[in-house]
Copies of this chain bind each other. A is one copy, B any other.
């Protein structure tokens, strides 16, 4: 395992310090003494990325696609070594890690396909109209190009799919942007294994030195240096509101501001309409409990707020939820800080006298997360912004409304969200319509009779949403369109054909994707 920083095709460990990944289940340092990146190493990585950009953005799509698929193969070839390291560093089960590995490789192959199809270039041509009056129209040809070096911050809860070779990296590399990954302190070993794969894939497929770098971080400083570097052109981040907002602010206060796409907090409200609750309590309960507790609730799409009408059937559903949650064995959380914040969040909710907490399968081991439901009435919820905050972990807050009008009030009171969900019968569709009309202003994805967890990686996916779900609701972090965060249009006016090889290569393709 490489414990140095990977700067292009070079390994570097200038610092005399060492940092270690921790096994959260046993609270012990794992093998691997990693070198944190120095300021000079940060600078070299970005300088190399800038030089690489000039070559990489012009490499033909077929070869970029090969690079991406080689990364996927390399990750698969790591086999058990990777799977075990991920499990050690995260406390996740083998099943969970295998699902995430598959998702990561599928995502890389999807972006390989996307690159080759060239649709992302949005080629648009206005042909010259030399005879037009009062003024002729020039020949205009528009094409998307890569914005430049992109910094990717690895996410604590997705050590593979949103980290070193995750969605941000895959989409940025597909766009033609070199990537510098800032490893997450919690999974330095996972990062090292995957970063080595990417470095090898880059060498084997003839990519330029600097197309990928991986830096180990010593807290906040490395990240700040990366975002503030004058050659950095964009940033991808998945994590907390606090962390995302700090990076966003940094990116904007630069002499030359850059786009920082941060996917941050969300409480993912689930609206439970009364007839549906009456008919399907058992099914809703199992669906929700799984969605709340899967991976110990450490999903950004975990349903953190449930909204229902306060009646006999809802009380029955609450009893079912409480009983089922109590059966969930407390599981180890990703790291000490996340476990600490989870307990702090639960304690803060508990401190509100208006909130009733369900009996939990509580534990004294602070690294474990015990699944928990809290209940509050809608008046109190609307009046108390603290209860609107995300509690990251296996926790959900049931908000009880007097009637449907109050359910609409609750919807109106909510912040921006990654998702909103409505559970309803066919007889309740008019109500669904009203809720949707509110939540369309606030959420990136709206789900009917399902749960918010399970984010499909596909063309029609939106994983983002109004602030604080993301820093820019016009983009998505997941799915084909994620590539658009790293692209900008350039128009060529009256250019000789020979100087526009990219247009010609694409125009020659059968079924070329040119806009009319």
Contacts and interface: CB of A to CB of B under 8 A. Distances in A.
A458 B128 CA distance: 12
A140 B460 contact: yes
A492 B124 contact: no
Nearest to A458: B126
A99 B471 CA distance: 39
B476 A124 contact: no
Contact of A145 (B426, B440, B468, B487): B440
A117 to B, nearest CB: 9
Contacts of A253: 249
A490 B257 contact: no
A459 interface: yes
Interface string A64-98: 00000000000000000000000000000000000
A500 to B, nearest CB: 9
Nearest to A498: B429
A273 B273 CA distance: 71
A461 B124 CA distance: 9
A248 B256 contact: no
Interface stretch (A212-220, A292-300, A361-369, A445-453): A445-453
A489 B481 contact: yes
A259 B252 CA distance: 11
Given A135-B454, A256-B468, A494 B461 contact: no
Nearest to A58: B437
A130 interface: no
Contacts of A436: 499
B142 A493 contact: no
B449 A476 contact: no
A515 B446 contact: no
A404 interface: no
User: What's the number of copies of this chain in the assembled complex?
Assistant: 2
A266 interface: no
A388 interface: no
A316 interface: no
A276 interface: no
Contacts of A327: none
A314 interface: no
Given A462-B491, A490-B445, A432 B499 contact: yes
A124 to B, nearest CB: 4
Contacts of A449: 494
A459 B492 contact: no
Contacts of A499: 429, 432-433, 436, 448
Interface string A403-437: 00000000000001000000000100100110011
B148 A446 contact: no
A297 B391 CA distance: 57
Interface in A476-496: 476, 481, 484-485, 487-496
Contacts of A352: none
A63 interface: no
A496 B437 CA distance: 15
Contact of A495 (B441, B448, B472): B448
A142 B440 CA distance: 12
A145 B446 CA distance: 13
A145 B444 CA distance: 10
Contacts of A145: 440
Given A432-B499, A445-B491, A474-B487, A460 B142 contact: yes
A141 interface: yes
A17 interface: no
Contacts of A338: none
Q: Which 8 A-B pairs have the closest CB atoms?
A: A140-B460, A462-B491, A142-B460, A473-B488, A447-B493, A126-B460, A252-B252, A124-B460
26 contacts: A54-B441, A124-B460, A126-B456, A126-B458, A126-B460, A126-B461, A135-B454, A140-B458, A142-B459, A147-B473, A147-B474, A248-B252, A248-B257, A252-B252, A426-B496, A429-B499, A443-B490, A445-B490, A446-B491, A446-B492, A448-B493, A448-B496, A462-B490, A473-B488, A474-B489, A476-B489
Given A135-B454, A445-B492, A474-B487, 16 more contacts: A138-B456, A140-B456, A141-B460, A142-B461, A145-B440, A248-B257, A249-B252, A432-B496, A444-B488, A446-B490, A446-B491, A447-B493, A448-B495, A460-B491, A474-B488, A474-B489
